[in-house]
Amino acid sequence: MLVTIWATLLLLAFLWSVFLFALTVIDRRQQKPGGERRQETGAVYAFAGLCLFVLAFADRLPFSPTNLRDPLAFLPGVDESSLDFESSLVGLLLITAIYIARILVFLQLVPGNDASRMNRDDLLEVLRDILAPLLAFVTLDLCLTVLLAGSYEWNGLIALLAFAVVLALFFFRIGERAAELARSIQGVIVLIAKWLARAFRSLPVAIIEAFVWFESLRPRAADNDAMNRWIANRIEKLDGDPDLSAKQRERLDRAYKRLLAKREKRRKTGKRIEP
């Protein structure tokens, strides 16, 4: 009975924590836009911790809603019988200790006089920005460890190791680095896509240049007026493309001048030039 009351009070503390984080985020957005990001992260941790607490300590809550653990049976190596585990009282005690620390952070229980109140408030704001999300994550980590330890029947050593590994994700900011890596990969993909798009747009210009170069190598006796007219028409059409870059237009101009020079040379030699 006492344990049920204890777990219920912790559940209410979780709900109160989510509420406080939400108020802090709203207040920061109104007073200092952009300063609510840490608290938004803490709110996510607090809400996730609340959900994990209900699953991990369902057997300690009123009416023992252990059926909420049923979706965990889809995890590899977990069956329905292993989900009827008895949650750890040590975990409950540790979560209680952390919540006492979280209450102290939110209530600003730091001694000081009125003369130093301004500096103390600034310091407390910084401490809350750092400690509140950290303690929310540690609480989440404990609830996750208790849930996995019960589901997989881990011993204390394995549970402690799992707790440390998850906690390392916070301190080494694996999630942020993974997000940065994903953004970098996305940037590389975008650059490659832009390069391919430019190369694709440059393809008609390169084809025209190749035709002009090929025609310049042919002897005058093998000149093809139809081919020359086709090249000139394609250059005119491409030059009217609004998406064409300045560099591509310069390449077309050079190709057109080379074609005109060839036609002029043919005219001087007396060969008939078709309009």
Neighbour count for residue 73 (Cβ, 10 Å): 13
pLDDT digits (tens, 9 = 90+) for 3-55: 999 999 999 989 988 888 888 777 766 665 555 556 677 888 889 999 999 99
- Predicted confidence at residue 244, as pLDDT, reads 66
Which range among 9-23, 76-90, 187-201, 256-270 shows the weakest confidence by mean pLDDT?
Answer: 256-270
**Helices within the chain (DSSP H only):** 2-31, 37-56, 89-107, 117-152, 156-171, 174-217, 225-239, 246-268
pLDDT digits (tens, 9 = 90+) for 220-258: 544 556 666 667 777 777 666 666 667 777 777 777 777
Please give the share of the chain, as a percent, with pLDDT higher than 90. 24
- Predicted confidence at residue 190, as pLDDT, reads 82
Identity of the amino acid at 100? I
For 34, which DSSP code?
T
Q: Hey, CA dihedral for 27, 32, 34, 39, is it positive or negative?
A: negative
pTM value surpassing 0.75: no
